[in-house]
Amino acid sequence: MLSPKYIITNKILKNIGIIDASREVILNSPLIPAWEAKFRKEAVEKFVHHGTHIEGNPLSFEEAQEVLDGKEVIARDRDIQEIINYRNVLKFIDTISSEVNPEKPHFITNAAILEIHRLTVYRVVDDEYAGKFRLRQVVLRNSQTGQISYTPPPAAEVPYLVEDLLNWINSQETKDLHPVIKAAIVHYELARIHPFVEGNGRTSRALATLILFLENYDIRKLFSLEEYFDNDPLQYYLTLQVVSNQLVLDSSQRDLTPWLEYFTEGMAIELNRIKERVKRISMDSHIKDRLGEQIELNERQMLIMEYIHKYKQIQNKDFRKIFPDYSDDTVLRELRFLKKKGLIKKTGGTKKAAYVLR
């Protein structure tokens, strides 16, 4: 059975500490439903856009948002389909994780991996390759030089290697393993095996996400690691290759430490970012006590509150920055609502009026 080799370095320990501390803050912050829904929607959009963009999808973040919202986008059918597909992958992950009974052990199956892949490449590759292990050798080449950067295991070994990975995932040995470490190893191993003709990166990252969700590290489903990977795709691929191209006699001797450091750092950065944002806009206990109610804000009101949290105030001159398509009267009406609810107050005279947090 698979026996990953790695060292828990000080860097990994530091990252895990940040991850767990951020997780606790996020899980225990009293977010009002409208804010939580907004954050979850953003997490889905980032997961889908960055998860496909890193693989070469040319659609911008705004175009991906429009596709997800059901709007018409002028682009290649393939590019649009990849966006829809990866959203369906996330829905599949949500479905599996929501059906798990916390009192019973949960298992990742071969069928789940194949379904993730099928959804990933639906109408993008021929049906004979969708949700099926590759039957031929493939190689990864440098897109600029054309040189081979990595040669995956032979196709005949793929079913056995995936089975070995699944046995490790579902083994008693991994029960005490930190979920983020486990997800990182699963991501690396499936990418190394490269079991499909196309869609291996997305499938590997999606499987890692499924591991986190099943291990109670979905973090209210407010995060997406895909943006971290996509911000520096060269570093992402180089880190994978550094481990995969180690000169060892057996694959079990590869040292996964560099990859674990990279993966945990990304998770730490993402969760710390969300933690700070949640702390800024969560309803503080003293505000809730004073108001005696949970306030559900609309989209414009949420944007105003977020702007004030970030810049300490909002003035009339700032309206166009946030709401280029709305009149000043509309914005002022939202400000009056927030003021009435005791969330903000007005300072200064008519010409230099500003709204700040109470």
The total number of residues shown for the chain amounts to: 358
- The contacts of residue 63 (CB under 8 Å, 6+ apart) are 73, 75
Name the 3-class secondary structure at 304: helix
Nearest of 204, 32, 193 to residue 113 by alpha carbon: 204
CA separation, residue 41 to residues 24, 123, 125 (Å): 21, 25, 28
How far, rounded to the nearest angstrom, does the alpha carbon of residue 74 sit from its chain's CA centroid? 26
The DSSP string of 45-111 is HHHHHHHHHTTT----HHHHHHHHTT----S-HHHHHHHHHHHHHHHHHHHHHHT--TTS-----HH
First vs last C-alpha separation in the chain? 59
Catalytic residue among 117, 187, 194, 286: 194
User: Active-site residue 106, yes or no?
Assistant: no
- Tokens 């009101």, residue? 301
Q: How many CB atoms lie within 10 A of CB 130?
A: 20
Which secondary structure element, helix H or strand E, spans residue 21, and what is its range? Answer: helix 10-28
Report CA torsion sign: 123, 128, 134, 138: negative
Q: How far apart are CA 82 and CA 120, in angstroms?
A: 7
Q: How far apart are CA 327 and CA 64, in angstroms?
A: 27
Catalytic residues: 194
